Amino acid sequence: MRTAPDRTWRLSDNPYGYGLFAALGVLTVGAVAAATATTEMWILGVPFGLLLFGLAIRQFNAVFFILIASLPLSVEMELPGGLATDLVSEPLMWLLTLVSIIWYARHWPEVSLRMVLHPIALALWFHLAWISITMITSEMPMVSFKYLLAKGWYVIVFFLLAGWVMHGKRPFLTLLWAFFIPLIITVSIVLVRHAMEGFTFEGSNYVMGPFYRNHVIYACVQAIFLPFIWFGASFYPRWSFKWWVLVAGMLLLLVGINFAYTRAAYVALVAAFGVYWVIRWRLMKVVLVTTAIGFMAFYVVLSQRDNWLLFAPDFERTITHSRFDNLLEATTKLEDISTMERVYRWVAASYMVEDKPLTGFGPGTFYFFYKNYTVSSFKTYVSDNPERSGIHNYFLMTTVEQGLPGLVIFFLLVATVLLTGEHLYHRISDPDDRRILLAAVLSFALINLLMLMNDLVETDKIGSFFFMTMAMIIQCGIRNRQNTE
């Protein structure tokens, strides 16, 4: 039985630690003086940036967990030129991307081929390869290139780097607490602000800022992290202090999800229990095949003779609701504006797929072309889309932007991850690895369920877990093979 190498960062590993911190102190004083003299506040970040760069070169796994801790606290910022970024998480991704490339170039022989040639990894490389092809054929190549570039640093940091860092119980628990503590802080702030508004449904649309773009992202982040807390708590003795903290935190997140008034999160959490039993009963193949056939049949039926026109809303009655019970009632009557705006874009997407079925319009280009394909019968009061939001179904957006082959490749990636998770669940005997595996698989399944109604992979708080859970599943399989050899 082999044991994984100890890759844990320790301050004592650096013999120059005290000198570096003294130098950092001098730099900080100098930066404060320079910022005061020039009124350029960005100078204050220079010492911190240099510290992180030096730390990333020496021990990048420490910076990786700093990045994880920054995700719940990151804020979307508009930049000159119409660009936007998430501070501070995205600059940390850029730093770790650079360091990862350098590290992999120098230490390639140390990298396990089991990681990069695993079926999940091969499906991911295939997915990225097709994105590269559709970037070349894109209607807007520069937009698609930026999309591929952003996807690249997500994969490098949260898949390749995470595959090296997340190698067992200890890093799993480090990740758990690194994300848990700032998440609880932000949820507590939101709940206090929401309580001052009387927990109204209308208030849920703006009390989430600045940490969350909207109440949907807020609810989804909490939902996908619940499996980590649930199985993470089982690593500690029942009734111990840390166990109580995690249990209390889990209850707080459930309260947060409840008052986020996000229907997709409610449904996904219930469905997650079903996914667990699907894994237990080895039914994943049946469920995936049934789901694929069901969606294809639904699309064929609606597209024949323009049957989808039967669902066209009444423009005057399809409005925004200020009470959640009214929203639920409106949803069943197809009078809810958010649901019908989705249909408005989905109908446009169906025509876009018909127009360019092979390579699509190009990654990241849906917003720029969909209005030319919309049908006025489905128009709502928010169809002007000033916030430039997407299609609200990641699978359909993949089809529009990457063609039908892109959808098939992405579905194969998702299916490979879920089938691998089910297979490993019935082969892994180590209880710790089984907990880690289930946390990763259920979180990944939740993300995909939520993507049926939202576009989430390109957001830092959720896209990070999409790739990280894949890496963790692969590592569970590698450790299982090592333990049985």
Q: How far apart are CA 130 and CA 387, in angstroms?
A: 28
Q: Stretch 50-69: mean pLDDT, rounded?
A: 80
User: Which amino acid makes up residue 72?
Assistant: P
Q: Tell whether the model's pLDDT for residue 349 goes beyond 50.
A: yes
**Cβ contact 148:214 at 8 Å:** no
Residues 397, 370: contact at Cβ < 8 Å?
no
Structure letter (DSSP) for residue 336: B
Q: Would you say residue 199 has pLDDT above 70? A: yes
Contact 339, 378 (CB under 8 A): no
Taking residues 99-122, report their average pLDDT: 84
Q: How would residue 399 be classed by pLDDT, with cut points 50, 70 and 90?
A: very high
Mean pLDDT across the chain: 83
Tokens of 191: 């709940």
CA dist., res. 135 & res. 148, Å (int): 8
Of 51-55, 201-205, 253-257, 462-466, the one with minimum mean pLDDT is 51-55
Three-state DSSP class for residue 21: helix
Cis upstream peptide for 171 (omega within 30°)? no
11 residue type, one letter = L
What does the pLDDT read at residue 205? 76
CB distance 323 to 201 below 8 Å:
yes
pLDDT digits (tens, 9 = 90+) for 4-55: 455 544 444 444 455 655 666 677 777 767 766 776 655 666 667 777 776 6
| Residues 168-186, mean pLDDT to the nearest whole number | 95
| Other beta carbons within 10 Å of 203 | 19
Q: How far apart are CA 90 and CA 75, in angstroms?
A: 10
Token pair 């092979």 in the structure block, residue? 358
Per-residue pLDDT at 325 = 47
Which residue type is seen at 275?
A: V
Write out pLDDT tens, residues 296-322.
887 676 666 455 555 555 444 444 444
Segment 253-259 mean pLDDT: 94
CB atoms within 10 A of CB 104: 16
Task: Find out whether 259 and 194 touch, Cβ atoms under 8 Å.
Answer: yes
Contact in structure between 421 and 34 (CB atoms under 8 Å)? no
The closest alpha carbon to 382, from 321, 459, 330, belongs to: 321
Task: Give Cα separations from 38 to 33, 34, 42, 44, 329 (angstroms).
Answer: 9, 6, 10, 11, 58
Domain boundaries defined on the chain: 11-111, 114-485
Asked whether the beta carbons of 182 and 212 are under 8 A apart, the reply is no
For residue 300 the two structure tokens come to 């064929």
Environment class of 259 (CB within 10 Å of its CB; exposed 0-12, middle 13-18, buried 19+): buried
pLDDT in tens, 326-335: 444 444 444 4
Q: Which residue has the higher pLDDT, 204 or 75?
A: 75
CB-based contacts of 212, cutoff 8 Å, min separation 6: 186, 190, 218, 221, 461
Q: How many CB atoms lie within 10 A of CB 105?
A: 8
What pLDDT, on a 0 to 100 scale, did the predictor assign at position 130? 98
What distance in Å separates the CA atoms of residue 380 and residue 314, rounded to the nearest whole number?
9
pLDDT of 11: 41
Q: How confident is the model at residue 324 (pLDDT cuts 50, 70, 90)?
A: very low
Percent of the chain with pLDDT over 70: 79
Sole residue written with tokens 């958010």: 338
Q: Which residue has the tokens 């996908």?
A: 224
Tell me: the pLDDT tens digits for 433-461? 999 999 999 999 999 999 988 888 888 99
| 373 vs 124, residue with greater confidence | 124
* Cis peptide bond N-terminal to 245, omega within 30: no
Tens of pLDDT, residue by residue over 130-152, are 999 999 999 999 999 999 999 99
Q: What tokens were used for 369? A: 């072309």
In this prediction, residue 261 carries a pLDDT of: 86
Cβ atoms of 476 and 428 within 8 Å: the answer is: yes
At 369 the pLDDT is: 93
Residues 6 or more apart in contact with residue 420 via CB below 8 angstroms? 119, 120, 473, 474, 477
By the 8 A CB rule, do 365 and 139 touch? Answer: yes
